[in-house]
Amino acid sequence: MTAKEHALKIFKEHGGTLRTNDALAAGIHPRTLYAMRDSRELEQSARGLYRLAALPAPGEPDLITVAKRIPKGVLCLISALAFHQLTTQVPHHIQVALPRTARTPKLAYPPIQIFRFSEESFTAGIETHVLDGVPVRVYSPEKTLADAFKYRNKIGRDVATEALRAYRSRQKPQFQKILQYARACRVERIIRPYLESFL
């Protein structure tokens, strides 16, 4: 197996996208990586992030870039509402939750907005969805609704209530789960009257 064949195999095993550090750690020589980039077999999605050029165009390239560059982050608030189709808002930034102690990531593109969550709030309700072979972490619809009410002054109370109405129209809404996450986010008293009005 040539160095290039070895590199292609590693990229395919990782869904076709790798950060430079991960590629090198997996055994791809820097010379091979940059030669593949120069020959356009790899395309640079963002600084330090490479993707096999032969793959079909990703459906959500910005989310994939953020998931690869900020692996500990979780899509939250309007980005998570949009992911779950619970808002008509178009996010201008990809909103990402991180623990309070995590280092602030540097990402030139796409534009991101970081929110710092307490440990209990950060770890609750994380789902992993695979987009184009890349795992993307996002809060569940119920956790996202609790977060939307917690951050209602930043994203808008109307955005939070619109999302709750959209969620209510689903086949099997789980209001108890929303209350459980609202307790973790310390907004149970704020969200409960809205939920009771739907029952």
Q: Tell me the average pLDDT across 157-181.
A: 89
- Distance, in Å, from the CA atom of 77 to the CA atom of 180, rounded to the nearest integer, reads 17
Is it true that domain 3-52 has CATH number 3.30.1180?
Answer: no
What was the pLDDT predicted at 109?
79
The answer to whether residue 56 scores a pLDDT higher than 70 is no
Nearest to 86 by CA among 170, 22, 18, 9: 170
Would you kindly state where each structural domain of the chain is located, as residue ranges? 3-52, 61-198
CATH architecture for residues 61-198 = 2-Layer Sandwich (3.30)
Q: Tell me the average pLDDT across 139-162.
A: 94
171 vs 41, which has greater pLDDT? Answer: 41
- Convert the pLDDT of each residue in 174-189 to its tens digit: 889 999 999 988 899 9
What was the pLDDT predicted at 58?
59
- Convert the pLDDT of each residue in 115-148 to its tens digit: 999 888 899 999 999 887 788 999 999 999 999 9
Contacts of 25 (CB under 8 A, 6+ apart): none
- Distance, in Å, from the CA atom of 97 to the CA atom of 152, rounded to the nearest integer, reads 15
